A and B are shown apart, each in its own frame.
Chain A
């Protein structure tokens, strides 16, 4: 087990720069997620750590040792592919024992390790079957077993859950995290699914177009997005143009159209500096929709429901407030609002964060 460091790593494919200026530390034993839309370079990073691609520039360190020039088969990393990549001509037992063979483990030792790995992924007794005889979820577990049985220094997971259907995905999410916790291996997990990232990670690295946008714990990236990309990528956010109306030691007063002045704690407007205007970010689920004229807590504005997207427990409303359209996701308490209803929208200043105007 070991931590992983990327130092100023860059990778180009011909004229295409896949990733650049990467300075990332993956702490020993942690579960770190690379989160970003398709094509942002997540797989490229994993493949560079695994040795399947060579970085164009920069250093990759595992356990403090530079491994740029170490060939793939000597790196001792476990890589789990999105499409499982099990060997179809080998039994499950042979698949899992594949890496053991090259580590001088064979015979009954190997069989015992294979059995232990199958127990960890909770699929005991399937040694003699072929991959095609297992379901997608089971194959994914085998792929995981094959990667962890070699006791890798680092476990690399490239969208391992995205080929599974929704229910299984959530189940495997919990289980994968539990397995990682149990064996304590440094893990780098790649996904484009924000809820997966939020649910599983110790640390999330949000990426876009080959660059790191924000690094932080799930709550941090979720509650205090560093820029508009992060704000929008992790769920729905409303982004409003605001003017600085005044400030004191603890808070900044921001003039929000139609709502009036909102006093946001300074800590949540750190990026604003001395600027006179900025952009206020508030998540759709943090805005509160109240019956018209209701005097709730927070800063209020009047609006009209334009459209409702009913989702069972919650509803997503599109609400017109003056010339702004806000997205609001609220739990349904009793009856949902309908399109055309006049409503009051409430903002709690503590839920706001402020970005620079050009962010």
Chain B
């Protein structure tokens, strides 16, 4: 009997083993290399010396440039997340509630953009918002403006680019949550005296929080870790922390500094995830699905 119990106790570990091994080899081991690399010394372009010294970390903490980047990254991630939450909720609600028989088609349309490289999708904004772009072209043709408006290469364009790329993640997460809500709950609230807006606020919105929260977390982390979108759509001042890593590794060929910055970004975003799930209370979220 005792043996059988012990075997039962071990069973979860057997079942978890493949995932744990994959995480260990694909995440923990490489991240450990990066951590080790952050103590190396960069002597010249692409020439590193094996060492155990703290000059990279000292640079990180003393150079205000890096702090500015962290601040910019957090700020932009929050803005993009909040906009994505509002802009994503509406289509998600529409898709979940529509009586349109071919709902799969709407979901397909949502996934369709993933079939095109996101770099191409991002670059396409140049043709829309650029000085020679479609929008300026139309405005000039209509005679509303005489000279092209400078719309590209600003923070606004970067935000648009992020929303464009990450909105489907938000919509899908919220949709799945909304889809799981009993269709009779809003009518029940209505017959009890709630206006349409009150019924939404009291019933649908709280019950869709798990999806909304998951979508927000995903968009926040994805934005916080990006560098390509600001590279393509942003001006010289629109850099994120990810761009510093890109610069250190690709332009300056300073891998130890790149490793230091990478590890910092990992820790920062990891802290956000932990704090977020504390505040949102994962057990609170699961209550809705009990």
| Cα separation A307 to B187 with both chains bound (whole Å) | 49
Closest-by-CB residue of A relative to B209 is A89
The answer to whether A102 touches B184 (Cβ under 8 A) is no
Q: Check A102–B288 contact: CB distance below 8 A.
A: no
A51 to B192, CA, bound (A): 12
Is there an interface contact between A87 and B184, defined as CB atoms closer than 8 Å?
no
Contact with A along B183-217 (1 / 0, CB 8 A): 01101111111110010001100110000000000
For A72, give the chain B residue with the smallest CB separation: B190
Would A130 and B185 be within 8 Å (CB), given that A50-B191, A52-B190, A103-B193 are in contact?
no
Distance in angstroms from B82 CB to nearest chain A CB is: 23
Interface string of A53-89 (1 = CB under 8 A from B): 0000000000000000001111111110101010111
Is B290 close to A, CB under 8 A? yes
B182 CB within 8 Å of chain A: yes
Interface size grouping (class) on chain B: 20 to 34
On whether the beta carbons of A77 and B191 are closer than 8 Å, the reply is yes
Instruction: Indicate if B62 sits at the interface (CB-CB under 8 A).
Output: no
Q: Give chain A nearest CB distance to B192 CB in angstroms.
A: 3
Q: Is the CB of A75 within 8 A of B290?
A: no
Would you list which residues of chain A between 134 and 162 have a CB under 8 Å from chain B?
146, 150
- Complex interface residues of chain B between 152 and 210 (CB less than 8 A to chain A): 182, 184-185, 187-195, 198, 202-203, 206-207
The answer to whether B182 touches A89 (Cβ under 8 A) is no
CA distance A49 to B170 in the complex (A): 38
Verify if A98 is at the interface (C-beta below 8 Å from B): yes
In angstroms, Cα B187 to Cα A50, docked, is 9
Indicate whether A303 reaches chain B with its CB closer than 8 angstroms: no
In the complex, residue of chain B having the shortest beta-carbon distance to the beta carbon of A50: B191
The answer to whether B191 touches A89, judged by C-beta atoms less than 8 angstroms apart, is no
Given the interface contacts A79-B187, A85-B184, A89-B207, does A132 sit within 8 Å of B290 by beta carbon? yes
Q: Which residue of A lies closest to B195 (CB)?
A: A73
Contact B187 A87 (CB under 8 A): no
Q: Does A99 contact B (CB under 8 A)?
A: yes
Best-surrounded residue of B192, B289, B290 (most CB of chain A within 10 A): B192
The answer to whether B193 and A99 touch across the interface, beta carbons within 8 angstroms, is yes
In the complex with contacts A89-B288, A130-B290, A132-B290, A150-B193 CB distance below 8 A: yes
- Judge if B102 is at the interface, Cβ distance under 8 Å: no
Q: Decide if B288 touches A85 in the complex (CB within 8 Å).
A: no
Q: In the bound complex, what is the Cα–Cα distance between A88 and B208 (angstroms)? A: 12
B287 close to A (CB within 8 Å): yes
Q: Is the CB of A146 within 8 A of B192?
A: yes
By a CB distance below 8 angstroms, the chain A residues around B288 are 88-89
**Bound: A62/B189 CA distance, A:** 20
Instruction: Give every chain B residue within 8 A of A132 (Cβ-Cβ).
Output: 290
A132 to B202, CA, bound (A): 18
Of B193, B194, B290, most A-chain CB atoms within 10 Å: B193
Structural contact, A102 and B192, CB atoms closer than 8 A: yes
Taking CB atoms, residues of chain B closer than 8 Å to A85 are 182, 184-185, 187-188
Q: Which residues of B contact A102 (CB under 8 A)?
A: 192-194, 198
Cβ contact within 8 Å between B192 and A98: yes
Per-residue interface assignment for chain B, residues 254 to 290, with 1 indicating a CB less than 8 Å from any chain A CB and 0 otherwise? 0000000000000000000000000000000001111
Q: Which of B187, B193, B195, B207 contacts A88 (CB 8 A)?
A: B207
Residues on the B chain within 8 Å of A81, using CB? 184, 188
Instruction: Give the nearest-CB partner of B192 in chain A.
Output: A99
* Closest CB in chain B relative to A169 CB, distance in Å: 20
**What's the nearest-Cβ distance from chain A to residue B26, in Å?**
37
Chain A proximity mask over B138-155: 1 for CB below 8 Å, otherwise 0: 000000000000000000
The answer on a CB contact under 8 Å between B189 and A98 is: yes
Q: In the complex, what's the smallest C-beta–C-beta distance from B288 to chain A, in angstroms? A: 5
Tell me the residues in window 120-141 of chain A with beta carbons closer than 8 Å to chain B beta carbons.
Answer: 130, 132
Most buried by B among A71, A72, A75: A72
Which residues in A have their C-beta under 8 angstroms from that of B289? Answer: 88
Alpha-carbon distance A51/B117, docked complex (angstroms): 48
Asked if residues A79 and B188 are in contact (CB atoms below 8 Å), the reply is yes
A146 to B192, CA, bound (A): 8
Contacts of B191 in A (CB 8 A): 50-52, 72-73, 75, 77-79
Most buried by B among A50, A81, A83, A88: A88
What are 7 sample pairs from A and B whose C-beta atoms fall under 8 A apart? A52-B191, A74-B193, A76-B193, A78-B191, A79-B191, A88-B287, A102-B198
Residues of B within 8 A of A (CB): 182, 184-185, 187-195, 198, 202-203, 206-207, 287-290
